[in-house]
Amino acid sequence: MVENKNTVPEEKEVKKLNFLEQIIEEDLKNPIYNNTILTRFPPEPNGYLHIGHAKSICLNFGLAQKYNGLTNLRFDDTNPSKEETEYVESIKEDIHWLGFDWGDREFFASDYFDQLYEWAEKLIRDGYAYVDDQSAEQISKNRMTPQEPGIESPFRNRTPEENLDLFRRMKASEFKEGERVLRAKINMSSPNMHMRDPIMYRIMHVHHHRTGDKWCIYPMYDYAHGQSDYIERISHSICTLEFEVHRPLYDWFLDHVYEEGTVRTKQREFARLNINYTVMSKRKLLELVKDNHVNGWDDPRMPTISGLRRRGYTPASIRLFAEKVGVAKRDNIIDMGLLEYCVREDLNKIAPRVMAVLDPVKIVIDNYPDDKAEEMEVINNPEDETQGSRMLPFSKEIYIERNDFMEDPPKKFFRLAPGREVRLKGAYIIMCNSVVKDDEGHITEIHCTYDEDTRSGGPASNRKVKGTLHWVSAKHAIDAEVRLYDRLFSDENPDGHKDKDYKEFINPDSLQVLTNCKVEPSLKDTKPLTHFQFQRLGYFCTDKDTTAEKPVFNRTVTLRDSWAKKNK
């Protein structure tokens, strides 16, 4: 089997398949698949999508792309009491923004209510389903616990005729909510609780966002989901691990409607995404929003798609992240650092560099003419020449970052200090001569001199100095607000504590608003969602709160900072 070892490989990329790809490739050997697959992304429209959904979206659309197939978007709208059209719009927006398109393959589980109902009648006629008159509490109680068998309902052995009659009357609105349900007749002593005569239909006198008041009985997830998959002829129904226990039930329902010669939908499960220092359940995210711990679903601290977008994440960065985290079946907690790596990776290539000083301190260049002003040509992005250059005004008074100056610096400090020189990026080398302080001892002004020959591109411009600072001309700068974000939780795994509520770990300092920032004039009228690198600081993104009078920027992520790291 290793015969042609010495034919030697032209180092072709080793394709390592994840377990889903292996299953698919195995399946595809069967001609019934016709060499193609059909996946689906099935959100319930009861909340906003988060990065965990992004993983699933990338997986489902990605797999389909890879194997010559398509992906359906199907809203799992079987519980009208929790679902709203507002959510379906946001979900569609987020998927498109991520870069995926389902064309006209947009469906709703509610599209299939008629078919589902017919199949339910068939199950009743065949003796596989019955109407139960017990209360919710009784049903639940009689299911008992996983280690002891359940108790059969006294209504379990009604005749198909009686069941059919009752079921039709349920549909005809003759009963109140909770009075009756339709149950599958499977096995009350199965060790798998989902097989203990699961409920198929319940009565809900609730208006549905799409079917209006047509129905007062609605199918449960287990019944609706699998059958919807089959109706759409989904080949691979990929979901998260918690549904693994549902699989026998999924298959049981499918057995009762399956037609020979058709593709039989296969459900397979993968481990959901977890990221440290955040939470990833819709319920908890909703709670953070409702209790005002954050400012809405798109708060830049939220792991929602809309939050990440507002924070300044790009679709490509999230897709890269989804690829990097991989897919498997073991529990995982991904390091937030990986997500950050992914944005930096993308933004480094595309974000123009600009000058912004977040915590300004004034520098006066004593030997620079009082009313002189120059325009310095600076490169927009050293990683991408096609982004060209722009002009940046320079004058006698400039601002630099307060922490770029130290009166009494440690040996490895490469920035400005008395008697030291630094380069002002794109301009001159300056030397610090003196410092002016107020009564309290706070530095109010730093006096420097510049060397005219060191202007970028000038005769002495390649003189070596240790540090290069970003800066902004005082009289040309515009004021801006900058919002800095930190992790939302102070604990690595906020909902991993049995005795403590995750909310106890909310980081009180996750948002810091700086209102006294100075940015270069080119940033005057930027549109929300524009990405920049604030030179030496990090990647920033114009916020939707920005106005002509006061631009607002969100910090997406800092630059890697080996200096800060060293000083920890």
Partner RNA sequence: UGUCCGAUGGUGUAAUUGGCAACACGUCUGAUUCUGGAUCAGAAGAGUCCAGGUUCGAGCCCUGGUCGGACAACCA
State in angstroms the smallest separation of the CB of 165 from RNA. Answer: 18
Return the number of the residue (44 or 481) whose C-beta is nearest RNA. 44
Identify whether the C-beta of residue 275 lies closer than 8 Å to the C-beta of residue 303.
yes
State in angstroms the smallest separation of the CB of 456 from RNA. Answer: 2
Return the number of the residue (103 or 457) whose C-beta is nearest RNA. 457
272 is catalytic: yes
Element (H, E) at 482: strand 478-485
State in angstroms the smallest separation of the CB of 238 from RNA. Answer: 14
d(CA 350, CA 378): 16
* Catalytic annotation, pick one of 282, 310, 319, 420: 282
State in angstroms the smallest separation of the CB of 70 from RNA. Answer: 21
State in angstroms the smallest separation of the CB of 261 from RNA. Answer: 28
d(CA 282, CA 264): 31
Identify whether the C-beta of residue 94 lies closer than 8 Å to the C-beta of residue 56.
no
d(CA 208, CA 546): 38
Instruction: Give me the residues paired with residue 108 across strands.
Output: 75
d(CA 478, CA 476): 7
* Catalytic annotation, pick one of 92, 210, 272, 536: 272
Return the number of the residue (98 or 400) whose C-beta is nearest RNA. 400
212 secondary structure, DSSP code? B
Return the number of the residue (150 or 299) whose C-beta is nearest RNA. 150
**Across 256-396, where does the E strand assignment appear?**
266-270, 353-354, 356-357, 360-365, 373-379, 389-395
d(CA 379, CA 343): 22
282 is catalytic: yes
Beta carbons within 10 angstroms of residue 323's beta carbon: 14
259 is catalytic: no
Return the number of the residue (384 or 545) whose C-beta is nearest RNA. 384
Return the number of the residue (258 or 341) whose C-beta is nearest RNA. 341
Return the number of the residue (113 or 128) whose C-beta is nearest RNA. 113
Instruction: Give me the residues paired with residue 72 across strands.
Output: 40
State in angstroms the smallest separation of the CB of 397 from RNA. Answer: 19
Beta carbons within 10 angstroms of residue 446's beta carbon: 25
State in angstroms the smallest separation of the CB of 415 from RNA. Answer: 5
State in angstroms the smallest separation of the CB of 197 from RNA. Answer: 10
CA 249, 109, 203 angle in degrees (round to 5)? 75
d(CA 393, CA 404): 21
Return the number of the residue (127 or 191) whose C-beta is nearest RNA. 191
Backbone angles phi, psi at 230, to 5 degrees: -70, -40
Return the number of the residue (255 or 335) whose C-beta is nearest RNA. 335
d(CA 302, CA 49): 11
For helices 85-98 and 315-325, give the axis angle rounded to 10 degrees: 80
Token pair in block for residue 323: 């690829």
d(CA 297, CA 46): 12
Identify whether the C-beta of residue 454 lies closer than 8 Å to the C-beta of residue 460.
yes
State in angstroms the smallest separation of the CB of 373 from RNA. Answer: 18
d(CA 273, CA 59): 12
What sections of 99-159 are H helices per DSSP? 113-125, 136-142
Instruction: Give me the residues paired with residue 540 across strands.
Output: 532, 555
Burial of residue 86 (number of CB atoms within 10 Å: 0-12, 13-18, 19+): exposed
d(CA 356, CA 401): 9
Return the number of the residue (257 or 338) whose C-beta is nearest RNA. 338
State in angstroms the smallest separation of the CB of 361 from RNA. Answer: 16
Instruction: Give me the residues paired with residue 183 across strands.
Output: 130, 199
Q: Pairing state of beta strands 38-41 and 70-75?
A: parallel
Return the number of the residue (244 or 545) whose C-beta is nearest RNA. 244
d(CA 507, CA 288): 12
State in angstroms the smallest separation of the CB of 287 from RNA. Answer: 13
d(CA 401, CA 406): 11
Residues 457-471, buried b or exposed e (16+ Cβ, 10 A)?
eeeeeeeeeeebbbb
- For tokens 């106890």, what's the residue? 504
Looking at the annotation, which residues are catalytic? 44, 272, 282
